[in-house]
């Protein structure tokens, strides 16, 4: 359940999750209407704000960190009037997709797996 921000044509992944807790993905899927497969969705500031509102109650559980919520808040704070965020869902890292954002995410996630092949680092950023 990664997402990107597009600021002046530059794509930057704010966070990449691979096999982590599903709640943030479910929240974003709800906002985007995503039901299955690999796809990306543009989010304006209002949609991202709604996702933050829906995930915020999870902070009551202090057993877990909430890095997605923190990343969403940073991303939202940095969105200008013309900027958008993009939620990217990848069903299978090994399955190519015609969606450019999915392809970019797959490349970065797979590269991080290689970088962390010896289990010395975190694959999710």
In SS3 terms, 54-115 reads as HHHHHHHCCCCCCHHHHHHHHHHHHCCCCCEEEEEECCCCCCCCCCHHHHHHHHHHHHHHHH
What is residue 114's predicted lDDT score, i.e. its pLDDT? 61
Contact status, residue 9 vs residue 98, Cβ threshold 8 Å:
no
Q: Answer whether residue 123 shows pLDDT above 60.
A: no
Could you give the domains of the chain? 3-115 (3.30.70.2010)
The pLDDT tens digits of the residues spanning 63-114 come to 988 888 999 999 899 887 778 888 999 998 889 899 988 988 888 888 776 6
Phi-psi map region of 94: left, alpha, beta (phi>0 left; psi -120 to 50 alpha):
alpha
Tell how far CA 118 is from the center of its chain.
24
What is residue 37's predicted lDDT score, i.e. its pLDDT? 94
Binned at pLDDT 50, 70 and 90, residue 125 comes out as: very low
């Amino acid at each position: 359940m990664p997402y990107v921000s597009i600021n002046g044509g530059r794509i930057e992944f704010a966070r990449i999750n691979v096999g982590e807790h599903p709640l943030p993905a479910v929240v974003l899927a709800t906002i985007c209407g995503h039901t299955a497969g690999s796809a990306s969705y543009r989010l304006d500031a209002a949609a991202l704000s709604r996702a933050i509102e829906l995930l915020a109650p999870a902070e009551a559980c202090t057993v877990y960190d909430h890095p997605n919520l923190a990343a969403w808040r940073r991303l939202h704070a940095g969105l200008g009037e013309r900027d958008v965020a993009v939620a990217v869902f990848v069903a299978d890292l090994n399955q190519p997709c015609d969606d450019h954002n999915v392809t970019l995410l797959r490349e970065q996630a797979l590269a991080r797996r290689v970088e962390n092949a010896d289990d010395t680092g975190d694959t999710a950023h």
